[in-house]
Structure 1
Amino acid sequence: MTAPSAPPTAPRASAEPEERQMANTDGLRIEDLARPVFSPDAQRVLDRLAEDAPAHAFEPERLMRAAVETASAAHGRRLDDFGDPRFTEPLGIVCQDLNAEPALTGYGRTQFHREFTRMLVQRLRLQDLLRRHPEIHDVRIRQPIIIVGLPRSGTTHLNNLLASDPRLRHLPLWEAIEPIPAPGDAPGAALDAMTRRGRHRDMVTPHLRKMIDVAPTDAHEDAELLCLSFASGLMEMRAPMPGYLEWYSGTDLRFAYEHLRTTLKALTWLRGGRRWLLKSPHHLDHLPELKNVFPDAVVVFTHRDPAPAAASLATMNAYMMRRRLYPVDLGAVGRHWRRRIEELLRKMQEHRALFADEQSVDVVFHRYMADNLATAHDIYRVAGQPFTPQTRAALRAYLDGHVRHRHGRIDYRLSDFSLDPTELRVGLSSYTTRFGVQEEPIR
C-alpha cells in the first residue's frame, strides 16, 4: 500500500513558511524539524512525487528489473550484469527496513525508488564499461588523500578547500551522483541534471545551504560511490534503518571498498586526474577495509568537540529527513546519533594506529578554524604534495569566496533532541583528551 503524501495531521503549506522560523543573534531557529511545513511550491513537488509512488513494497528483484529496463533502454541493448552480487544482501535489508517504516511518506517512497534504481543502473553501466574497456583495471589509484572524521567536524569545508587545488582530483557532487554516463550523453548532462535536482531540493530544504555546501560542483563524499554497493553510512542519514545499520556496522565491507576503487579507476579513465582527494566521515566505521584497499593512502583525521558536532549533525539529519518522512522523531534521531558518535569514535581510536605518522594527519577543529592555510600546509607536507605559490593562491581564493556562514547561520541545540552536552562529553573524555579537543559553547 502506498504511503500518503502527508498524514491528515500534517500542517499544510503556508504562503510564507519561512516567516515561521525564528531568527536570533545565534542563527536561524528551525521550528518545524519534527513536523515539517512546506512552501506551496515545495508541497506541489512532493504531491507530484507521491502520485508516482510505486504501489508495491520495496523488493530487490523488482528494483533490479526496473534498473535493467532503464539501463537497457538508454544503451539500446540489454544490460543485466550487476557485477559482484554481494550488494544484494544489504539491498534486501534496506528494503525490509523501509517496508517496516511507518513514517515513510508517498513522496519518500518515490524518492527512494528513484535513488535505488539510479544506483543499480550505475552498477550496470560500470560493468558494461569495464567489459568494453578492460584496460580500466590497469589504472592505479596512488596515494589518495582521504579525509575522515565525525560528521560536522570540518570534513566538508576541508575537502572543498583542498579541492580548489587543480592538481588534486576531487569528486564533485554531480559526478558522485551520476559517475558513469549513458551512451550519447552530452558533456555536462550529469551536471545539468544535478542542477535540476538541486532546485527541487532547495524548495523542500531551503536552509540546507546554511548547513553544508551542496552546489553541483562542490566536492562530495566518496560514500556516495559506496552506495552503489548499498554499503554506505549515507544510508542511515536518509531514514531509520535499524536492520541495515546492524549489518553495516558489523560486516566486513572489503567488497564494497574494492568496488569503490574500481569506480575511481573508471572515473580516472573517463575524465582524467592523477592524485585523488576523497572524503567521508563514514570511513570511521571501516578503517581496516580502507587501509586494506588503499594501503598507501594519506588519511586526514578531523577532530571536534562531540557536543556541537552532535547538535549540528542531528539537526541536519532531521532536516534532511523531511524529504522522506512525516513526522520526524527528534528523540529517536538524538538517541541514534549519541550511540553512533560513541561507536564511531571508539572505532577510530581502536584503529587509528593502522595509519602510521608518515601517512596520517590529525586536524583539531579549533586550530583548523584559526588558520586554514596552515592546516592545509601540514597536510601537504605529510602527503608529499608540493605546496607551491600557485597552490596557496588557489586555496586563498577559495577561502576569500567561501567565508564561513556566508549563507546564514543555524541555531543548533542539543536540547531539541533531548541530549545533554555534559553527558556526551563525559562518555568521550578519553577521545577529547587524546586529541586535545577544545570544548565549544552549545545549548
Structure 2
Amino acid sequence: IIMVCSFVRSGSTLLHNLLHHAQGEGRSRALLKWESMSPFPLCAAGSLRTDPRVRQIGAMLNRVKASSPLAAMHWVSADEPEETCFFAHDLWGLAGQSISHMLPRWKDFLADSSNARCAFVNLRRVVRLMCVHNPPAPGARLVLKCPQDTPHISTFADVFPEARVVMLHRDPKRVLESLSYMMEQNNLTFRSAPPIPAEDIVRENLEVPAEAMMNFAAARRTEVINVKYESLLDSPGSVVRDILRACGVEVHGPDVEVRVGRFLAAQRGTREKPPRFHAPAHEDLDAPLVRQRLSRYIETFGVREEVAPRV
C-alpha cells in the first residue's frame, strides 16, 4: 500500500492519480469514486472500468457538477480514485469532513485518535472487501490518500503497517488561499454564516497536520518519502518513478514517463474539464505571517515559497 499524506488542497489528487496510473492499466489499484457510491454487489474481476455502475453514476455526477463550486474545486469522475474517508461507513466520512467547522461536537469527535483508530480499522475491512475480486497485480500497489486524515497519520500507519507513507509538501500560503475559498463555498452551500477567520483555518488545517507530519517523519525517518509540490509539477515522470521504486515497485523508467505523460495529456485535453469558478482574492491573508507560523514545517521539509499559484 502507498498512502499519500499532505495538507488539504495541496495537490494530493494529482499525485494520487499519477501513482495509480503510472503502474500500468490493470496493475495498480485505487478505490474509485463509483465504488464509494455503490460498493455492493462487489465489482466482478477485471470490470472496474466497464461495470454498468460507472456509466450510471457518471451520468448522475454530471447532472450536478455545473451548479457546484465545491465540485469544481475537487472534481472526481466516476472512474477516478477517491479519498478514503468517502469509504467510511460511519460518521467519519460525512461530506468528506468538509463541514466539520460547522459542527463543533463532531469536530471534536474527528480530532480524537481513538475514534480515528476505529475508523481506520473499519476502513481496513472495506479495503479488503474492495480488493476481493480486483486486487493489485503482483508487484503493484494499492494507492490511497485522504489529506483530511493527516493529523492521524501515525494511527493510520499502526492500523496499516504495510503502508509506505508519501508526504507531499506545498507552500502553506498557497494552501491557505485554496482552503479559505473552499470553506467559504461550504458556508454558502450549507448555511448562511460569517466567513471563517483565517486564524482558525491556519491552526486547524495547517498547524495541526504539520505537527503530525513532522512527528511521524521524525519517528519513522526511513519509512517516509518526501515530495515537494514544485518538483512534482516540474518533473512528474521522474518524481513518480522514484517514489514507486522507493516503495518496492519494479518499474521501467520510460514506461512510467509515457504513462504519466498520457494521463497529463488527457487531463489537459480529452478529459472533460470540471466547471470553473472564480476564486476571490485573499488580500487579508498575510503571507509572511502564515509562513512564520509554519516556519518549523517549512524548515523541516525544505518547502519553498510559491511566488505565483501553480496548478
Q: Under a length normalisation based on structure 2, what TM-score does the superposition of the two structures give?
A: 0.83
> How far off its partner does 1:232 sit?
4.1
Counterparts of residues 217-296 of structure 1 (less than 5 Å):
217-226=79-88, 228-232=89-93, 235-238=96-99, 240-252=102-114, 253-274=116-137, 275-296=141-162
What is the CA–CA distance in structure 2 between the aligned matches of 1:216 and 1:423, rounded to whole Å? 40
- 2:215 aligns to what? 350
- 2:58 aligns to what? 195
Q: For each residue in 1:194-241, what CA deviation from the matched residue of structure 2 results, as whole angstroms up to 9, or x when unmatched?
A: 2243134313215743x3332111211112123x23224865313512
Count residues with an aligned counterpart. Answer: 291
- Shift in alpha-carbon separation, 1:354–1:257, aligned structure 2, 3 A: farther
- Structure 1: 5+ residue runs without aligned partners? 1-143
Query: Does the 8 Å CA contact 1:413/1:442 hold for their aligned counterparts?
Result: no
Which of 13, 35, 50 is residue 175 of structure 1 equivalent to?
35
- 1:433 aligns to what? 299
Query: Does the 8 Å CA contact 2:85/2:96 hold for their aligned counterparts?
Result: no
> How far off its partner does 1:315 sit?
1.1
- 2:182 aligns to what? 316
Which of 279, 282, 288 is residue 414 of structure 1 equivalent to?
282
The higher-RCO structure (CA 8 Å, 6+ apart) is 2
- 1:368 aligns to what? 232
Q: For each residue in 1:252-310, what CA deviation from the matched residue of structure 2 results, as whole angstroms up to 9, or x when unmatched?
A: 22221111011011011143434311011123111221111111211110001111101
Query: Does the 8 Å CA contact 1:205/1:320 hold for their aligned counterparts?
Result: no
- 1:157 aligns to what? 14
- 1:387 aligns to what? 251
Q: For each residue in 1:378-400, what CA deviation from the matched residue of structure 2 results, as whole angstroms up to 9, or x when unmatched?
A: 10121011222433322220012
Q: For each residue in 1:366-419, what CA deviation from the matched residue of structure 2 results, as whole angstroms up to 9, or x when unmatched?
A: 111111111101101210112224333222200122239x6668545333xx43
- Shift in alpha-carbon separation, 1:269–1:207, aligned structure 2, 3 A: closer
- Shift in alpha-carbon separation, 1:270–1:180, aligned structure 2, 3 A: farther
Query: Does the 8 Å CA contact 2:10/2:170 hold for their aligned counterparts?
Result: yes
Q: For each residue in 1:57-100, what CA deviation from the matched residue of structure 2 results, as whole angstroms up to 9, or x when unmatched?
A: xxxxxxxxxxxxxxxxxxxxxxxxxxxxxxxxxxxxxxxxxxxx
Percent sequence identity over aligned pairs: 22
What is the CA–CA distance in structure 2 between the aligned matches of 1:354 and 1:201, rounded to whole Å? 44
Write the letter of the residue equivalent to 1:360. Answer: V
Q: Under a length normalisation based on structure 1, what TM-score does the superposition of the two structures give?
A: 0.60
Query: Does the 8 Å CA contact 2:214/2:300 hold for their aligned counterparts?
Result: no
Query: Does the 8 Å CA contact 1:299/1:360 hold for their aligned counterparts?
Result: yes
What is the CA–CA distance in structure 2 between the aligned matches of 1:232 and 1:335, rounded to whole Å? 25
